Chain A
Amino acid sequence: MAELLQYLITGLAVGMVYALIGLCFVLIWKSSGVANLALGQLVLLSSWFTYSMLVQAKLPLWLGFMAVILFALALGWIIERVVLRPLIAQPILSLITVTLGLGYFIEGVVSFIWPWSVAALPRLFPKEPIHIGPTVVSQEHLWVAGISLLIFGLLSLFFRYHKMGIAMRATADDQLAVQACGIPVTTIFSRSWMFACVLAAVGGVLVSSIGGITFGLVETGLKAFSVVILGGLNSFGGALIAGPIIGLAENLGGGYLTPYLWGGIKDIIPFIIIIIVVIIRPYGLFGEERIERI
């Protein structure tokens, strides 16, 4: 019983972070129709950058985070400007492939600059576990889940009410019509990449504050990808619900199945879910089906 609650809490918290990183995908997909496959690498890169700021440069926490956010904004801007803008109006396959290439490029850069394979970030949240009855719940996980939820709320408000948010959704629908309204789509793309990189950075810091920085973060990106597929490629709410589902499936499955199967089962559960979802509901739980007037 105590075990179960532990798995539940961990699963939910980890799932929320997956969802947050998944948002990074949804954001770009929604506004520009580009599938960003460099998700995990962006997470990895910003985690290492955080390490440099907090541990190597020994900046105070708040200053370090400011630096990380600025770095993420700049990164997003550069990626859009250098990698994606020249490919505007090219076939979608080229755009997807270029993000794949970008991912490997980042991975190379990371292992060049930070050649250690593992590092730990300083603890960001209180470490003492909370006791609820007989169960011990990690306070860190609760913090992580809370922060993710907060960011979710802010983003949904942004997309619902802010004119830039509305314009981003409009761009996802019809780029030419958006330009006909006098809106520069390149600005929209640029902003969405900047936001997405910040999300990846926040997600990365949250994950690695608990688990440390490893190349496993790239895999975290892939898991976030499975969250997005389950929730629907263009649905924020979908990611919010699918994240915890994946997190729970992973932790419960990992916890209870490992003794019967093999040790790595935990890590492949999200991908098994991807396969099942793609077969049954290719557009995910809450993804947009194309609107057809009847």
Chain B
Amino acid sequence: MLKLNNIEVTYLNVIRVLHGVSLEMDDISIVALLGANGAGKTTTLKAISGLLHVEEGEVTSGNIEWNGIKINEKHAEEIGKLGIIQALEGRRVFEHLNTAENLMVGAYYRTDGRAVKRDLDMVCGYFPRLKELKHNIAGYLSGGEQQMLVIGRAMMSTPKLMLLDEPSLGLAPLLVEEIYNIIERFNTEHKTSVMLVEQNVRIALSIARYGYVMESGRVVLDGSAEFLRNNEDVKEFYMGLSTVGTKKSYREVKHYKRRKRWL
């Protein structure tokens, strides 16, 4: 159970990025964080995973609770040990290591050698492509393979909560679907919660059970995936659809842009 209570995040003591974000997440759930660029989605993830400290950011008010433990002052490695692992945006593989070594880095702090080996097979089961590429240098993998590797690396630490930052970034639609299917399978088979940050609203809401829409550092709308999928504003602003699911006619578009004010 993850709980963010009204958190504010400030970078370098001056730049406030989140203005009171609250969200809640049940165990073994999938939650999507949606919103435009600069809305604070990634910052929210980093606040949870503790990576904020690395970038001179700080939770200045409110708190983050994970199974009853306050984690907003802990460092990334302690939070990792508590079972929260973030996969960063932008396919950050270790370029000069091969695929197998990349996966092993994910299991760094685990000491049960046999279980680690079993999980290596497990990850290769989810991503059969990675098995073929075991000895290839990660820097030369294709974009899709790198994204699989990054997610696989997060799986290797057997997290209880996986934070995925834009897993669909720059990938072909077919591949996006494949990766999302795997995420969903992993969620049900391994009882791992997943928090997704996505621009691709449609695909995110297809597997998420609950979603939060963020706008300039605040949560402006939240609800079940079903609710969000049918919400007019979400449809228009994030899916590019207008009423009743029909495509928008550009003949009728006014020359000024309609903008949604959430507050």
- The closest CB in chain A to the CB of B81 belongs to A182
The number of inter-chain residue pairs (CB within 8 angstroms) is 86
Whether the Cβ atoms of B97 and A170 lie closer than 8 Å is yes
User: B residues 79-106 with Cβ under 8 Å of A?
Assistant: 79-81, 85-88, 92-97, 101-102, 104-106
- Once the chains are docked, how many angstroms separate the CA of A288 from the CA of B139? 12
Whether the Cβ atoms of A291 and B87 lie closer than 8 Å is no
Partner of B54, one of A166, A176, A182, A293: A176
- The closest CB in chain B to the CB of A294 belongs to B140
- Chain B residues with Cβ below 8 Å from A277 are none
- Once the chains are docked, how many angstroms separate the CA of A244 from the CA of B255? 73
Partner of A291, one of B75, B81, B139, B153: B139
B137 within 8 A of A: yes
B21 within 8 A of A: no
Whether the Cβ atoms of B51 and A181 lie closer than 8 Å is no
B108 within 8 A of A: yes
- Once the chains are docked, how many angstroms separate the CA of A92 from the CA of B15? 25
- Chain B proximity mask over A135-179: 1 for CB below 8 Å, otherwise 0: 000000000000000000000000000010011011011101111
Whether the Cβ atoms of A167 and B51 lie closer than 8 Å is no
Given contacts A173-B95, A179-B76, contact A167 B85 (CB under 8 A): no
B237 within 8 A of A: no
Whether the Cβ atoms of A170 and B105 lie closer than 8 Å is yes
Whether the Cβ atoms of B96 and A169 lie closer than 8 Å is yes
**Closest-CB distance, B168 to chain A (whole angstroms):** 18
B226 within 8 A of A: no
Whether the Cβ atoms of A166 and B105 lie closer than 8 Å is yes
User: B residues 36-82 with Cβ under 8 Å of A?
Assistant: 49, 51, 54, 56, 75-77, 79-81
6 closest residue pairs by CB, A with B: A182-B80, A291-B139, A173-B94, A177-B92, A184-B77, A170-B94
